[in-house]
Amino acid sequence: MAAEYMHIGIPVLNRKEGMTYNEAMKFWVSSVDDYDFKIEYLKFEEGTPFPEILSKQPHVAYKVDDLEHYADQADRVIFGPLELGPGVRLAFVIWDDAIVELYEEK
């Protein structure tokens, strides 16, 4: 199994310059490449399908080679898995009281 660090996601209350809007999921997001430390800022709008905990606590994201394996090892799944496109899936889990994003691309 392999997990590679991708970014840390930090929820914010106000939009930051350069954020883009995801209309389908109702949230604003910055590019991790805009910051030296791979920070992703997120601002969630009313009606987002993401769980409320994501708008209140940061998460750490990992690219994984087997999403099911890591999701099964987590304390619980709080969102997903969600198909983002062909061969691309995403899930958020609680792992040792921390929110972890699992990103799989096959």
Read off the pLDDT of each residue in 50-54 and give the average, rounded to a whole number. Answer: 96
> What CATH architecture does domain 3-105 belong to?
Roll (3.10)
pLDDT of amino acid 33: 92
pLDDT tens figures, 1-44: 789 999 999 999 999 999 999 999 999 999 999 888 999 999 99
pLDDT tens figures, 68-83: 999 999 999 999 999 9
pLDDT of amino acid 101: 98
Distance CA(92)–CA(71), nearest Å, equals 8
pLDDT of amino acid 2: 87
pLDDT of amino acid 35: 84
pLDDT of amino acid 1: 73
More reliable by pLDDT, 2 or 61: 61
The residues near 28 (Cβ < 8 Å, ≥ 6 apart) are 15, 19, 20, 21, 22, 42, 43, 44, 45
Peptide bond into 51 cis (omega under 30): no
